[in-house]
Chains A and B, each alone.
Chain A
Amino acid sequence: MSGSLIIPGDSLPIDSRDSEIKTTIGPGIYKNPQTQSIIPTNAGVINVQQNKAKTTQLVYVESNSKRYIPQTNDFVIGIVTGVVGEAYKVLLQDFSTAVLLSMMAFPNATKKNRPNLKIGQAVYARVSQAIPEIETELECIDPTTGKEGGFGLLDESGYIFTVNLNFARELLFNPNSIFLEKLASRCKFEIAIGINGKVWIKCGEGIKLEKETSEEEGKTPRENTRDLKSTLAAARYLTKCQKISVESLDQVLDEAFKNV
């Protein structure tokens, strides 16, 4: 990967005493409250972005880790694990502290009109508050419109699998990423990417229970099996993408979709 490596103890390639430039620090950078010095705390690739007028700059370390730490405005996929008072307890990652999803944090929700989520269901949500000292909160409302905006319950015909955190960021943030583009050449799909490393994917009608299938008209069981197979193949493909270089991408795609 291009870009220069930085490890804890190194000096940042910026002049932090230069008061002309306003510096914003991102992941992997820490400001010591006592000395006011800015230091890198993680090992990874350093990124420095300056705006054209050279008045502001952004510094962060891009690195892979397995543990997800919620940050405000992250889009995440969580599993409902319980109810406390007027909020759901949502798990973003195994063995991590459960976060809160208020029942009022849904569009059109009132005291009387509550969302009906069951334990075990998955939701796509935005982190509305992430202060380390207190409990993290999620919401399922698009803050700009006040509407649903794609958040809310993820339907059960999709398949949830986990990817590395750095790969999840690539899929969600990089508009030029070729992984999903390649996948689109094979099947029609709906996808929700959580920055906490969970991905929900559904190809065609997705994975249907047998009971639902028989009720549905116009769809033959064969078509349903194909949707199921391609959903699993897509998940297999994306999981494998993390471990290969871009050159062998076509081969991996072929392998994953071999029996579909």
Chain B
Amino acid sequence: MTFQVRTSLLENVDGSAELQIGNTKVITSVTGPIEPKARQDLPNQASLEIVIRPAVDLASTREKLLEDKLRSLLQSIIVRYKYPRQLIQIVVQFLVSDTSSEGEIDYTSNELNAAINCCYFALIDAGVALSASFASLSISLNDGKATYNPSLVDLNKSDSHHVICFNIVKGKADKILLLESQGDIEEEELFTMISNAVSECEVIHQQQRKFIKEKVDNDYVWKQ
């Protein structure tokens, strides 16, 4: 499982990251905490504004659905009580994504997975307070055989596909923050898949840590 990531590439926002996993490429910006509009203002915690834009065409209900899933995840991980009456704006722009042709099933799992992982780096870059790290994984199951980060072909062949996101405490996967499943699956299969995903997410976390180390070193390049 590999991904490429760059951070701080946008000048005019507080944090940004560009991430590529498989055939999905996404760029995320984080602005905040900033002054909210009156209707977004929450008296004792930060409000989140999440905007997702697809690689082609205009945002539709599909993107709204992704926004809602991302929001429910980020709401629990950002320390929102630290920024009362403030707004954190997160914009996710897909640059490249697998698009199904007419008549085929439209998948969102790879995009959701990329958005979650990219948000992590963008939030770290912006210095927004997080209560823990998190890593997500996209999985497809075909006859009980798991494929991590499946391509569109894999997804079409699969019996079921899933996105799973763990929060990472002390380098270990702690709780499931999000589990999106679609397709036919036995209960037992699901539990096996979840327990296998644990170690896989911990590997992703190791890569995250390595990358953040490089970023921090780069921020303090002038330090003796």
Q: What is the interface of chain A, defined by CB distance below 8 A to chain B?
A: 1, 5, 7-11, 28, 30, 32-33, 39, 41-45, 63-67, 69, 95-97, 132-133, 164, 166-167, 170, 178-179, 241-246
Contact = CB atoms under 8 A, between A and B. Distances in A.
B217 A1 contact: yes
B32 interface: yes
B37 interface: no
Contacts of A96: 34-35
A5 B209 contact: yes
Contacts of A244: 221-222
The bracket for how many chain B residues form the interface is 35 or more
B38 to A, nearest CB: 13
A96 B32 CA distance: 8
B34 A41 contact: no
11 contacts: A9-B130, A9-B133, A41-B130, A41-B131, A42-B127, A64-B127, A67-B33, A95-B31, A170-B222, A243-B222, A244-B222
**Closest 10 A/B residue pairs (Cβ):** A65-B127, A41-B129, A9-B132, A1-B220, A8-B130, A9-B133, A64-B219, A97-B35, A66-B14, A67-B14
Contacts of B126: 65-67
A243 B219 CA distance: 8
Given A42-B124, A63-B216, 11 more contacts: A7-B124, A8-B130, A39-B132, A42-B129, A43-B215, A96-B34, A132-B83, A133-B44, A170-B223, A245-B222, A246-B222
B62 interface: no
Interface string B186-224: 000000000000000000000011001101110111111
Contacts of A11: 170
A203 B132 CA distance: 46
B216 A5 contact: yes
Given A43-B212, A63-B219, A65-B127, A9 B32 contact: no
Interface in B109-134: 124, 126-127, 129-133
Contacts of A95: 31, 34-35
Nearest to A132: B84
Contact of A132 (B13, B85, B168): B85
A39 B168 CA distance: 13
Contacts of B224: 178, 246
Contacts of A42: 124, 127, 129-130
B79 interface: yes
Nearest to B205: A9
B150 interface: no
A13 to B, nearest CB: 12
B167 interface: yes
B121 to A, nearest CB: 10
Contacts of A64: 127, 216, 219-220
A242 B127 contact: no
A30 B223 CA distance: 26
Interface string B66-101: 000000000000010111111000000000000000
Contacts of B124: 7-8, 42-43
Contacts of B133: 7-9
A5 B14 CA distance: 21
Contacts of A9: 130-133, 167-171, 174
Nearest to A61: B127
B224 to A, nearest CB: 5
A95 B89 CA distance: 12
Nearest to A164: B219
B136 to A, nearest CB: 14
A61 B169 CA distance: 17
B220 A67 contact: no
Contact of B79 (A41, A63, A166, A170): A41
Nearest to B81: A33
Contacts of B213: 5
Contact of B131 (A8, A45, A179, A241): A8
